[in-house]
Structure 1
């Protein structure tokens, strides 16, 4: 048994020696060929840097062994390109252009991404901040503030030529208030002017001049001397019925009769301001057709009307207000739901303003007031004490006569109050 074991060990030693000699011979033969081919490959890549190269393989002399040199080639190319870039950049001047506004950056998973330059990003942030500040005010408030600023600038140009508008001097502001008093402006108008000037002063980083003691005392005296009672009279239910009947003789068409009847009755029953159902400017938001939804009985007669308001005083940041008005079958001549039903029948279902003329143009505040003035004159009422706001005043007086408390009446006219939703059916009291 020991002898065969020693024989096998001798055979193993012989085999190892043969294999070692064979591998040495193969390496000696292959290495020079591999080095030569890799060198030629690199020279070709350097002479044609824009040519895409696929995987490269090198076969041995006897054709049985293949060695992939793709990784080696790409590593050498990366090294060569890095060296080339470092050598070129210092010799080129740094320039800024529109095409250089983004900086490419290599991502390990998504390739190249673009990053905005700090200057452009800062400009975008400034534009966004200006956009946010502009939207802090409603369009109406912004326009009022601009008119107030223009009035103050005109005052400075006349009495203090060459004086800058901001910062505002207390002496100049006192004289500006006095000038408004001489012109006969209302105290509320002057208060709006002061609010606008305070806004612009603080936006520019200056001290609010309206908080000065002298300014407060001046405006206090202004209000005491110019205070006056509201002379506008309410449109009562009896006057409302007369106005509706007058439309048959004071309008030029059946369409306009249905139109203004629906507007008169809706303004009264819903405690609406005229600006909430008319257009004041070309860019103002008007009440759309979708704001009205009519619910009918099985016999197709109107049952209830749902009104949704999105544009009302102090509406910015407030949710839309939705409430219902039921049909009054006992007095159909003054029923807002029946009047709206008749108007929508002649108007049609085409999208657009709820209240509009035949040419689809919205009813403006001027048109509404003119028609109201014609009807009041026809009935013999004084147009100086009956205005568009008289519908709202009359609705409040009528609700109070029906036992509605003053607090509830105030909530009716305060759309911004969430508590209004609890009293949405107060206008449903019978006339």
Structure 2
């Protein structure tokens, strides 16, 4: 509209504000969901109805197809580009979303990596001579110790890494929970006498001697390793460590580290802050459910067993 009235500087300001209000990937996701809605609306017999009604009918359409997660994403896109629903339309939208939350499958807990298996992986990488194997094991170190998402780890540059004694500091420039791309410093400690410290610094010295900008680069493209390449190399690493049948993925490191920290008595709020989880619901989906020992004054019928050892 600003462009139509000839005030291009206002149009540019609006465009910049919209672009910087959310992360680029989030804006792209919103645009995709909005386009899906527009395609459905244009191809249906409902084209003439008001947009607020069409929005709710589209959510009902998604629900009928069991696309419950799409409903949440579409609603966020609608609210961003079209504004929030008002009055009765808002009530209908709320009912549709509440119904979806009841109907969708419960949270599936991904396989969490144990500390023993993490140690086995690092041992393989430490004893490796092949640079790709050293690199992927070093990636495993920061995924586990830094509670990083794979998207955060693969986009790190060499300049984002700072080592002070046994403290590793990583500048995570972009994250799904950092919509304004302000960047976050993630710090963790590695004992200098342990294999993982030697492994990580070995990889760092290798990439420092190249002209690649990224910490985990593709030597052919000079860009970060693709997700498919990382997945393939991690799968190979799991097999070499004898863990091929355990179903580990890139998500297993972050969830495994958080679960291990909880089991070792670290406060949950500290873990959420370290992993940059913004909600308890999101955090819980990463944590391995464990038995809760409840003391009941029964008389013993045999040898004692401590439930905390389960």
What range is the shorter-chain TM-score in?
0.7 to 0.9
Given the two structures, how large is their TM-score scaled by the length of structure 1?
A: 0.56
Query: Which residues of 2 match residues 241-260 of structure 1 at below 5 A?
Result: 241-245=119-123, 254-260=130-136
* Partner of residue 54, structure 1: none
Aligned CA distance change for structure 1 residues 158 and 183 (closer, same or farther; 3 Å): same
- Whether the 8 Å CA contact 1:258–1:343 is kept in 2: the answer is yes
- Whether the 8 Å CA contact 2:62–2:71 is kept in 1: the answer is yes
Matched, 1:290 2:133: no
Structure 1: gaps of 5 or more residues: 1-118, 279-285, 297-302, 418-431
SS state at 1:212 partner: helix
Deviation readout 1:41-76 (Å, 9 max, x if unpaired)? xxxxxxxxxxxxxxxxxxxxxxxxxxxxxxxxxxxx
Deviates more, 1:287-296 or 1:139-148: 287-296
* Partner of residue 58, structure 2: 176
CA shift for structure 1 position 415: 7.3
Aligned CA distance change for structure 1 residues 318 and 169 (closer, same or farther; 3 Å): closer
Aligned CA distance change for structure 1 residues 176 and 339 (closer, same or farther; 3 Å): same
Query: Which residues of 2 match residues 328-339 of structure 1 at below 5 A?
Result: 328-329=191-192, 331-332=194-195, 335=196, 337-339=197-199
Deviates more, 1:323-332 or 1:398-407: 323-332
Deviation readout 1:158-201 (Å, 9 max, x if unpaired)? 3337x26x95142x33432233234332x333201111012221
Whole-Å Cα distance in 1 between the matches of residues 246 and 51 of structure 2?
A: 44
Whole-Å Cα distance in 2 between the matches of residues 399 and 153 of structure 1?
A: 46
* Partner of residue 175, structure 2: 312
Whole-Å Cα distance in 2 between the matches of residues 368 and 272 of structure 1?
A: 14
- Whether the 8 Å CA contact 2:171–2:185 is kept in 1: the answer is yes
Whole-Å Cα distance in 2 between the matches of residues 274 and 243 of structure 1?
A: 17
Q: How many aligned residue pairs are there? A: 271
Whole-Å Cα distance in 1 between the matches of residues 37 and 253 of structure 2?
A: 35
Structure 2: gaps of 5 or more residues: 280-310
SS state at 1:276 partner: helix
Whole-Å Cα distance in 2 between the matches of residues 324 and 338 of structure 1?
A: 17
Whole-Å Cα distance in 2 between the matches of residues 324 and 412 of structure 1?
A: 8
Aligned CA distance change for structure 1 residues 344 and 196 (closer, same or farther; 3 Å): same
* Partner of residue 264, structure 1: 140
- Whether the 8 Å CA contact 1:268–1:391 is kept in 2: the answer is yes
- Larger Rg, first or second structure (1 or 2): 1
RMSD: 3.1
